[in-house]
Structure 1
Amino acid sequence: MKRKISTTLLCGVAIIALSACGAKKEEAGGTAQTPKAPEVKKDPFTLSVFGFGSAQDNEFDQRYREVLERKYPHITFKYIPQSSGNSLAEMVARGETPDLIRTDIPNLKNNYLDLQLGSDLNALVKKNNYDLTRFNDQFIKELVEAGRTGALYGLPYPPYFPMVLTYNKGLFDKFGVAYPKDGMSWDDVYEIAKKMSRTDGANVFRGFSANIMAMLRDNPYGYPILDPSADQLFDLEKWKPLFLNFKRFYEIPGNKIEATRPAEINDAFKKGNVAMQVNQYSQYLPIPQEIDWDIVSYPSLEGAPKRMVWRGPFYWSISSTSKHKDDAFQVIMTMVSDEVQLADAKKGMLPTVASKSVQGAFAQERPDLQKKNMKALFYFQEWSPYSPKRKAGLADVPTVVQQDSMAQTFHDFASGKVDLNTGLRQLDEKLKQELAKDKSK
């Protein structure tokens, strides 16, 4: 009996020893598997997203929904397009403030900050160790300066909007005039506009049209409309040469400016009887398929710096009232990731990140654009500076109001309704009235 017990004990000791040896061997060899922590199941919730244009555009679904639902299966994404009766201000008034909001510089004050929706992302950037240097630094700096408090109110997503000259190849072929080229001056464009402004039978052909609002706001000097530190129009004398340069195009016989600003900006070139239009390069400004068009670089003023003139991108921002700020920031990081921006770039959207590989993928899936002179978008290596914003603590006017007021001033000047000095004086008075409104709030 004693012998049997001793044998059993020895066997037990041997088994323990072997087990220990085996454990040490696995530990030494690195093959032991640490038990995985059970996945924490996240409670489902709905994240509302406000932005883009109409529901018919379906842009949120096309660009983001699939990747977001795959990565965040616990989140239901409710996309809310802006529509009549469904503006952001109206939604806030109804107590239906969305979690994520599309913002931009022109509307940052009136359609985000004035609605008390501003949410500083700096703490979330730090918490997630997020690298802001992956973006074009101008996009980040301009937004912070526009916010005037040092806050970061969003992350930029594609596209941004460089200025270009678009021309109707069919009309140039029809009249035997050489196509415009990259690197032209405004004087060069003016001479071409004179040649292309003509009457052919009953048809009137215009040589030139333009988005004057964008050309004045996004000027190569970075002039602001409202003075950054004084309650007045910025340096009237500096604006005069720009107004006069653009006005001469509408003095060409047969090239009268359209009766309204929207008609000049949005409709003139689409009619097919305008030879050239200067405007932003934008996916949101489609040209009819029947027009055989191409682009060249934005013209330069004689003596001015030769720069790429641009309008910045939109930004994804978080509402101050959102109960899901951490999750919302994760969603934004996905929407502006290299993966998503690479897909955007291939479709012809200019990326907001500095990644050369993402930038190099531009229009790879757009054979129609590959036939165009897309290098015109990158012709100038130097970018124009963004315009300085109002000093903190001063009354301000929404950029969208500033730019529309200046564009209307030019339209009245080009239409012969006012002379230049009167128009600029009236613009100065308009800005002061808007400042007074802001001070009275």
Structure 2
Amino acid sequence: MEDFLKRYMLGCCVLFSLLISVGCAENTNHSEEKETVELTMAWSGTEEAFIERFKAPVEKQFDHIEITQVEAHSGNTEQLEEMIASNHIPDLWVTGSPGSTTAMFQKDLAYDLSEMFETVGFDLSRIEPNIVDELRSRSNEFLGADSNILGALPLKRGLSALYFNKDIFDLFGVDYPKDHMTWDEVADLAAKVTQEKDGIQYHGLHVHFHSAYTQHGVDHQNENGDPQYDKEPAFRKTLDLMEKLFNIQGNYPERPSDLNDAFMEGVLAMHATYDSTLTYTDAPFEWDIVTYPSWDNMPGIGPTSSGEVIGITNTSERIEEAFRVIDFLLSDEYQTKFSIEGNASPLVNEEIHAVFGEGAPAYQDIHIESLFDSTPQKRSANRFQVEHSLEAAGEPWHGRVSDDFYESGLTPPEFVRWLQERGEIVLKELEGQN
């Protein structure tokens, strides 16, 4: 009897242990079983670049997420309409700049990313606030002034700098540009290196004037939608700079746009420009950068950012997973690696900026610190909130305004009056279309 009891108790213990083991195994298997989530991303880069930049790191981070490229530019209205017509609208979309988000917002496909912040624990303050404000303004452009959505977040910071050709400065024995110069100081320096030597005409400075104008942070129209070219000093100041450079004998051969390729040709001493990366890494001469010139009343303020952005479509059935991908792409870990490869981070983390370009040999001898020593300008609050936007219509102040001014033969005050008159005419045309 005693032996029977011992065997009985032993059998119960074994059975109990087996039940516990099976239960644990079931729980383990249940915890490991996670539904595979398939996400699509519209991005116009190559498949190889997509795998390296997005697919491989995302799928390594999330073992239950698979991400596939839709090779299209969601900022292209025609391609976006094709995706809508074929019912192949992506979960995620990436465009090259804030300006190319317009098509997505016009089609009412942008999802308000701020709805996911609490769910994922996303800290918006980690991102440069002026870039966020820019995207918030664009997000609400077609929804009215009372809207407050955030339809996109930056993946890259737009870079602005004053590039200079060391060889030209050495040729004429002129000191190199320095950080934190004003536009007037740079224009004066340009006059010293605008010379002809050995039959070659060297030009001192080329500027994308619309970019310089954005440093003012003002809109074409006031809060009532009325054109304000003759009341807002930013337009006159920008025109005065244009005229000063036009009057340097030999600086501009014809129209300003004729110098767009002059830096790489080795005949332009300085080029004030912006890009999402360093533009002239393959230049066949010695060059460097300093901070983008500033207006004398706005030290340390650069042009508005023009870097890459990312968003989610409101038709996605996997919004939380899609936002977790964005959260990862904006993590310190990912952005540090991204920065080392030579991509400027939109985060405010100075440690990430400090490693910019360390993995890119072409950047090793460049004054990288200049790129992060200016704050991108914030767009004006009403820039995209007016009912009829002159900027959206592309009139009359646009990226080609320097050529228009150059060819007009007008003085800055006369051209300001022309801008005002033209703006009023275009506004009436826009109002008449309703």
> What secondary structure, in the 3-state scheme, does the structure 2 residue paired with 1:300 have?
coil
Change (3 A) 1:342 1:400: farther
> What secondary structure, in the 3-state scheme, does the structure 1 residue paired with 2:398 have?
helix
> What secondary structure, in the 3-state scheme, does the structure 2 residue paired with 1:247 have?
helix
* C-alpha RMSD of the superposition: 3.5
Give the drift of 1:169.
0.8
Q: Which residue identity lines up with residue 189 of structure 1 in the other structure?
A: V
**Counterpart contact for 1:89–1:111, Cα < 8 Å:** no
**CA distance, structure 2, for counterparts of residue 98 and residue 367 of structure 1:** 36
**CA distance, structure 1, for counterparts of residue 428 and residue 82 of structure 2:** 24
Give the drift of 1:240.
0.7
Give the drift of 1:199.
1.5
| 1:354 matches 2:348 | yes
Question: Which stretches in structure 1 are left out of the alignment for 5+ residues?
Answer: 27-31
**CA distance, structure 1, for counterparts of residue 395 and residue 330 of structure 2:** 28
**Counterpart contact for 1:106–1:398, Cα < 8 Å:** no
Change (3 A) 1:337 1:405: same
Change (3 A) 1:189 1:436: same
Of 407, 411, 417, the residue aligned with 2:403 is: 411
Corresponding residue for residue 75 of structure 1: 66
Corresponding residue for residue 106 of structure 2: 114
Change (3 A) 1:279 1:82: same
**Counterpart contact for 1:310–1:384, Cα < 8 Å:** yes
> What secondary structure, in the 3-state scheme, does the structure 2 residue paired with 1:167 have?
strand
> What secondary structure, in the 3-state scheme, does the structure 2 residue paired with 1:165 have?
strand
Deviations 1:194-217 (A, max 9, x none): 121111232111111111121112
Q: How many residues align?
A: 417
Give the drift of 1:271.
1.8
Deviations 1:99-137 (A, max 9, x none): 3222443233x3221122221122222322322222222
Question: Which stretches in structure 2 are left out of the alignment for 5+ residues?
Answer: 141-146
Instruction: Please say which of residues 247-256 and 418-427 is displaced more in the overlay.
Output: 418-427
Corresponding residue for residue 248 of structure 1: 244
**Counterpart contact for 2:332–2:352, Cα < 8 Å:** yes
Change (3 A) 1:429 1:145: same
**Counterpart contact for 1:297–1:377, Cα < 8 Å:** yes
Deviations 1:252-304 (A, max 9, x none): 1111265363x44x4232221011111115427345431321011222333x1
Corresponding residue for residue 144 of structure 2: none
Change (3 A) 1:227 1:285: farther
Corresponding residue for residue 148 of structure 2: 150
Instruction: Please say which of residues 80-89 and 194-203 is displaced more in the overlay.
Output: 80-89
Corresponding residue for residue 198 of structure 2: 201
Corresponding residue for residue 373 of structure 1: 367
Instruction: Please say which of residues 292-301 and 417-426 is displaced more in the overlay.
Output: 417-426
Corresponding residue for residue 178 of structure 2: 181
**CA distance, structure 2, for counterparts of residue 142 and residue 322 of structure 1:** 24
**CA distance, structure 1, for counterparts of residue 362 and residue 281 of structure 2:** 12
Corresponding residue for residue 226 of structure 1: 221
**Counterpart contact for 2:205–2:269, Cα < 8 Å:** yes
> What secondary structure, in the 3-state scheme, does the structure 2 residue paired with 1:269 have?
coil
* Residue identity (%): 21
**CA distance, structure 1, for counterparts of residue 213 and residue 370 of structure 2:** 20
Change (3 A) 1:325 1:250: same
**CA distance, structure 1, for counterparts of residue 345 and residue 210 of structure 2:** 24
Corresponding residue for residue 272 of structure 2: 278
**CA distance, structure 2, for counterparts of residue 440 and residue 163 of structure 1:** 38
> What secondary structure, in the 3-state scheme, does the structure 1 residue paired with 2:363 have?
helix
Query: What pairs up with 1:1-16 in 2 under 5 angstroms?
Result: 5-10=1-6, 12-13=8-9
Corresponding residue for residue 119 of structure 2: 127
**CA distance, structure 2, for counterparts of residue 339 and residue 41 of structure 1:** 24
Change (3 A) 1:72 1:271: farther
**CA distance, structure 1, for counterparts of residue 82 and residue 373 of structure 2:** 43
**Counterpart contact for 2:195–2:250, Cα < 8 Å:** yes
TM-score (norm 2): 0.83
**CA distance, structure 1, for counterparts of residue 388 and residue 381 of structure 2:** 9
Of 210, 216, 219, the residue aligned with 2:213 is: 216
> What secondary structure, in the 3-state scheme, does the structure 2 residue paired with 1:348 have?
coil
**CA distance, structure 2, for counterparts of residue 401 and residue 63 of structure 1:** 35
> What secondary structure, in the 3-state scheme, does the structure 1 residue paired with 2:204 have?
coil
**CA distance, structure 1, for counterparts of residue 225 and residue 390 of structure 2:** 16
**CA distance, structure 2, for counterparts of residue 376 and residue 277 of structure 1:** 15
Of 380, 385, 407, the residue aligned with 1:388 is: 380
Query: What pairs up with 1:46-61 in 2 under 5 angstroms?
Result: 47-51=40-44, 55=46, 59-61=49-51
Q: Which residue identity lines up with residue 227 of structure 1 in the other structure?
A: N
TM-score (norm 1): 0.81
**CA distance, structure 2, for counterparts of residue 429 and residue 208 of structure 1:** 31
**CA distance, structure 1, for counterparts of residue 394 and residue 376 of structure 2:** 19
Give the drift of 1:10.
5.0
**CA distance, structure 2, for counterparts of residue 394 and residue 185 of structure 1:** 32
**CA distance, structure 2, for counterparts of residue 427 and residue 248 of structure 1:** 19
**CA distance, structure 2, for counterparts of residue 189 and residue 379 of structure 1:** 17
Give the drift of 1:248.
0.5
Instruction: Please say which of residues 348-357 and 411-420 is displaced more in the overlay.
Output: 411-420
**CA distance, structure 2, for counterparts of residue 398 and residue 10 of structure 1:** 93
> What secondary structure, in the 3-state scheme, does the structure 2 residue paired with 1:78 have?
strand
> What secondary structure, in the 3-state scheme, does the structure 1 residue paired with 2:179 have?
coil
Give the drift of 1:167.
0.5
Query: What pairs up with 1:257-406 in 2 under 5 angstroms?
Result: 258-259=254-255, 261=257, 263-264=258-259, 266-283=260-277, 285-302=279-296, 304-312=297-305, 313-380=307-374, 383=375, 385-390=377-382, 394-397=386-389, 402=394, 405-406=397-398
Change (3 A) 1:91 1:213: farther
Of 17, 28, 40, the residue aligned with 2:33 is: 40
**Counterpart contact for 2:39–2:91, Cα < 8 Å:** no
**Counterpart contact for 1:344–1:351, Cα < 8 Å:** yes
**CA distance, structure 2, for counterparts of residue 72 and residue 397 of structure 1:** 45
**Counterpart contact for 2:154–2:310, Cα < 8 Å:** yes
**CA distance, structure 1, for counterparts of residue 195 and residue 382 of structure 2:** 45
